[in-house]
Amino acid sequence: MTKFVYTFGGKTAEGRADMKNLLGGKGANLAEMCLLGLPVPAGLTITTECCTAYYENNCQLPAGLMDDVWKAMANVEKLMGMKYDDAENPLLVSCRSGARSSMPGMMDTVLNIGLSSKTIPGMLKRTNNPRFVYDSYRRLIMMYADVVMEKSEGIEPADGKGIRKQLDDMLDDYKAQHNYKSDTELTAEDLMKLSDAFKIKVKEVLGTEFPDDAKAQMEGGIKAVFKSWNGKKAVSYRKIEGIPDDWGTAVNVQAMVFGNMGDNSATGVAFTRNPATGDNQFYGEWLINAQGEDVVAGIRTPNPLNDDTKNEQNKHMKSMQELMPETYKELCDIREILEKNFHDMLDIEFTIQDGKLYMLQCRVGKRTGVAAITMAADMLKEGLIDDQEVVMRISPAQLDELLHPILDTTDEKNHPVIAKGLPAGPGGAVGRIALTNDKAKEYHVNGIKNILVREETNPEDVEGMRAADGILTARGGMTSHAALVARGWGKCCIVGCEAVKIDFETGTVHIGDRTFKEGDLLSLNGTKGWVYDEEVKMIDATENPLFKQFMQIVDKYRTMGVRTNADNPEDALKAVSFGAEGIGLFRIEHMFYGKNSEKPLEKLRNMILSDTTEERIAALAELEPYIKESAKSTLKVMDGKPLTFRLMDPPLHEFVPQTEGKQRAAAQERGMSFEELKRRVDALHEVNPMMGLRGVRLGIIYPEITETQFRALFSATCELIKEGHDPHLEIMVPLTINARELHHQKSIADRVKQEVMAKYGVSFNYLYGTMIEIPRAALVADQIADVAEFFSFGTNDLTQMTYGFSRDDVNAIVHKYVDEKVIPADPFNTFDQECVGQLVDLGVKRGRSTRPNLKCGVCGEHGGDPASVEFFYHVGLNYVSCSPFRVPVARLAAAQAAIKDARSHK
Ligand code: ADP
Ligand code: MG
Ligand code: MG
């Protein structure tokens, strides 16, 4: 029999922190806190394997599970000195979800399970606190009806018609009728009446009675948590975060402790360090006489935990440090114990029941990129972690976030701050106001920057939040849902901005005395929590000294090279400032696109539209100086660093005028008849240009095109050498299928090289290589390596050719495939290690079988993708090459791959 149930409590536990896969993050860390001797209410954890069994078993609990649960409950009862479903001394429990990796607010938890007409009298007698008992009861009904009776039954009520919302409305109406401002003003009698009214409503809306039986409640709670794994919001969160569907969730059944017993009770959440800035200060929020979700839900504005947490909004409110100094001290000690044990910043939940502190959760806390780098540097100094671990502490996404823009502080001074909120997610954002998730998504799809403005956000909003460039909410604290999610994604976010009032009827937002419509511009400074009207300029944040220091440590562990894809001096310099060690891909044809391309493009067109070899050679002669200058300027800034030029690759028809108007104009310019020009253009037509006249085929059909390019590149090199520079030229041939193509082109190169060296009176060396981007080339790589001195794997084309997916046509199909789970991901975004990866691996091995020191690299979109970088490291590539902005990310990913590798051999 598989063991499905693990107990914890009384300073001991069957689980441990490193059992997250089995017990979920929450269960494993509850066990760990017990082992550390911290005050944790006793409980039991049902494993993620049980969740998998539950789903495999047609949503039935495995036989005997409930017997095991009751057995473990006996242990809990003993430790807590109370009995579940007992009339005299009843124990209540919570049923809490907990997956391997945290999914904040995505799955469900039910508190106060076990209250029934049988146990309520005992509770009343023991606590002598009817207000507390009925407050707990009405909460149970609300949560249970929502989670167990509605959601887990798959009922999907219309927007705003869910049972939770209906009960919340009843509560609000009741408070309004009695002129209560806060939940805490509700009396015992009020809460009793509300509980009765709730039960009637539940029956009316859902058609079943709220169960008045503690045992049934327990089983219902456990099943509902399992079901919530496949709830809508959990599924969509997993998709965004890339969490596999088959991991499952654990269930934690834990003895209740109560923060809602009166003014000597409280509940709170905290971070052991500031998650937005990384500062080494205890940071949190708490609420007196409240339970569980109240802090996170934003129903009441929470109080600051301590002086360090006070800000504009809450500075007048009492902190725990002030009101409960003893308990606060105890919590500070726990903070230290936890950081020493986990060597990291933790996010904790605690509850104080009548002056006694209990720990309810701890997990490694989400943080911004800035905070991650600050904390890692501090923890290194404090001796909590070593510098290898520093490298592992910053995820590539967080590093990327550090490279993201912030508002330009100089320009900020030109704009009045129209409102202030809490700085929940750092960086800057400028965009159009979106009031709904759909609007944010619509803007995003159309490439329009947008700011999602909401009262508050909840887990239903994740997709809208994802699509937004910035998030602004009227309510919520630093630990509210919006804040947690935004920080996790490194998104600019301001919460609790009370000046924001949304009027959905008219689709307008009032901020202070200003009124905005959906679509109006706003700017956010998420690092300070400031809101500006209109557009503030943005700048990038790479000059951060912490960033530079961190990258130095990264390079200490990195073994694989990182180059960049760049085709002009500006991009090349940018990339070098980001740490690029060379250029892995310079596309010669890039000079025919964009800025200053008119002249060379005109010459290129003449070349393409030539009818005879003589015409073509004449046109090429005019083109050559442009290629030379373009190559020379970038070679010059890359002095001493390798620069790989790729010979012209694209289908020629891309460069000729396609509309009749443009063709007539082009004909006139050339003194040619329109009909003649059209004939020449039509002659270039191909049914499938991606597999037609491009790459090395161009150079074989028209050797004069190859000759011109070699002459231009060699001349640029000679000129630079004469000017005292140190160019490191590499030339690669694209779209190769065999060694003969390379020999053919090489013979041209050899001849031209002699001519150019003679002309300039200088000699030079260069590397002659090829791209490997057709499966055939990977298979005959041993023969190819006979002539090629290096390989560069072009993973875009290699993916296209391996799948037979046309990069230009297959988008919609790929999306459908991913949705239908025919393939796990878009192979053009996520490198297909399984198959395309095999070809790369094979290509490297076969190539090096002929030429052991064959240099191998990769260029293409995947060169900057962290998971792919790790793969390329294992295949033994010498370098990856990616776009300039991805260079730091690739350096980090390469260092992390090397460290992981070294650790796995220990
Ligand atoms: P989530 O994963 O959404 O944070 P939790 O399982 O942590 O959900 O529970 C929601 C809230 O209820 C948290 O604030 C937690 O501290 C509180 N809570 C959970 N179990 C108990 C318990 N046994 N006693 C008191 N509070 C609890
Ligand atoms: Mg929690
Ligand atoms: Mg290619």
CA distance 170 to 162: 13
Q: Which two tokens stand for residue 361?
A: 């959760």
Cα angle for residues 526, 528, 533 (degrees, 5° grid): 70
Q: Which atom of ligand 1 is nearest to 98's Cα?
A: 2
Please state, in angstroms and rounded to a whole number, the distance separating the CA atoms of residues 120 and 141.
13
Examine the pLDDT at 256 and tell me if it is beyond 90. yes
Distance 122 CA to ligand 1 centre (A): 24
Looking at residue 541, what is its pLDDT? 61
Q: For 42-59, what is the mean pLDDT?
A: 96
Atom of ligand 1 nearest to the CA of 93: 23
State the SS3 of 39-69.
CCCCEEEECHHHHHHHHHCCCCCCCCHHHHH
Residue 724 falls in which region: left (phi positive, over 0), alpha (psi -120 to 50) or beta: left
| 535-545 confidence digits (pLDDT tens) | 999 877 666 67
335-350 burial string, b = 16+ CB within 10 Å, else e? beebbebbbbbbbbbb
- Specify the pTM: 0.80
User: Comparing 816 with 555, which gets the higher pLDDT?
Assistant: 555
Relative to the alpha carbon of 735, which ligand is closest?
A: 3
Residues with CB under 5 A from ligand 3 (ion): 773, 794, 797
Q: Which ligand is nearest to the CA of 113?
A: 1
Q: Note the pLDDT of residue 592.
A: 87
H-state helical runs in 532-612: 545-557, 569-577, 598-608
Known catalytic residues? 481, 859
CB 759 within 8 A of CB 803: no
SS3 state of residue 96: strand
Which amino acid residue places its CA nearest to atom 20 of ligand 1?
Answer: 94
Tell me the per-residue pLDDT of 480-521, one tens digit each, with 9 for 90 and over: 888 878 876 778 999 989 899 999 888 899 998 899 999 999
What pLDDT digit, counting tens, does each position of 434-491 carry?
999 999 999 999 999 999 999 988 877 888 999 999 999 998 887 788 887 887 677 8
Q: What is the mean pLDDT of the chain?
A: 93
pLDDT for residue 445 = 92
Per-residue tokens: 236: 């969509």
> Which of 39-48, 258-267, 676-685, 799-808 has the largest mean confidence?
39-48
Closest-lying ligand 1 atom to the alpha carbon of residue 254 = 23
Higher pLDDT, 771 or 542: 771
Cβ atoms within 10 Å, residue 355: 12
Pair type for strands 728-733 and 767-772: parallel
d(CA 31, CA 239): 29
| 213 or 657, higher pLDDT | 213
Question: Would you state the structure tokens that stand for residue 391, as one six-digit string?
Answer: 């490298």
DSSP state of 100: S
Q: Specify the residue with its C-alpha closest to ligand 1, atom 1.
A: 105
Stretch 629-639: mean pLDDT: 97
Give the pLDDT score at 154: 84
Six token digits for residue 117: 């007409």
Q: How would you classify residue 315: left for phi > 0, otherwise alpha for psi between -120 and 50, otherwise beta?
A: alpha
Task: Answer whether residue 525 shows pLDDT above 80.
Answer: yes
The residue whose C-alpha atom lies closest to atom 23 belonging to ligand 1 is 256
Question: Per mean pLDDT, which of 635-649, 663-677, 683-697 is the most reliable?
Answer: 635-649
The token duo for 195 is: 């509980």
Residue 347 CA to ligand 2 centre (angstroms): 9
Q: What digits encode the pLDDT tens for the residues 556-597?
A: 999 999 999 999 999 999 899 999 999 999 999 888 877 778
pLDDT beyond 70 at 244: yes
Q: Residue 759 in 3-state DSSP?
A: helix
Ligand 1 neighbours by CB, cut-off 6 Å: 41, 94, 96, 105, 109, 111, 254-257, 292-293, 349, 351, 360-361
For residue range 188-232, list pLDDT tens digits in order: 999 999 999 999 999 999 999 999 999 999 999 999 999 999 988
What pLDDT score was predicted for residue 331? 98
Q: Within the chain, what is the greatest distance between any pair of CA atoms?
A: 106
Question: Of ligand 1's atoms, which has the minimum distance to the CA of residue 105?
Answer: 3
Residues constituting the chain: 906
- Any residues with CB less than 8 A from the CB of 855 and at least 6 apart, and which? 767, 769, 789, 790, 791, 878, 879
Residue 482 DSSP one-character state: H
The span from the first CA to the last CA of the chain, in angstroms, equals: 34
- Going by C-beta distance under 8 Å and a sequence separation of 6 or more, which residues neighbour residue 250? 22, 23, 24, 26, 27, 45, 46, 47, 48, 50, 51, 97, 98, 99
- Tokens at residue 433, please? 């106001």
Summarised one tens digit per residue, pLDDT across range 847-865 is: 999 999 999 999 977 888 8
Instruction: Report how far ligand 2's centroid is from the alpha carbon of 103 (Å).
Output: 10
Q: Tell which wins on pLDDT, 292 or 831.
A: 831
**Protein residue whose Cα sits closest to atom 15 of ligand 1:** 292
CA–CA gap between residue 338 and residue 282 (Å, rounded): 12
Burial of 177 (0-12, 13-18, 19+ CB in 10 A): exposed
pLDDT band at 761 (very low <50, low <70, confident <90, very high): very high
Q: What is the DSSP letter of 366?
A: P
Residue 239 pLDDT > 90, yes or no? no
Beta strands 492-495; 422-425: pairing state: antiparallel
- Ligand 1 centroid to 137 CA: how many Å? 16
Pocket mutation for ligand 1, best pick of 82, 111, 481, 484 (most atoms within 8 Å of C-beta): 111
Of ligand 1's listed atoms, the one at least distance from the Cα of 259 is: 25
Pick the residue whose CA is nearest to atom 9 on ligand 1. Answer: 109
pLDDT of 641 above 90: yes
List Cβ neighbours of 386 (8 Å cut-off, separation of 6 or more).
Answer: 380
The rounded Å distance from CA 398 to ligand 1 centre is: 28
pLDDT of residue 542: 65
Using one digit for the tens of pLDDT, what is the confidence trace for 680-723? 999 888 888 889 999 999 999 999 999 999 999 999 999 999 99
pLDDT band at 298; cut points 50, 70, 90: low
Report the separation in Å between the CA atom of 799 and the middle of ligand 3, taken as the mean of its atom positions. Answer: 10
% of the chain beyond a pLDDT of 70: 99
What mean pLDDT is predicted for residues 614-623? Answer: 95
Reply yes or no on whether the pLDDT at 183 is more than 90. no
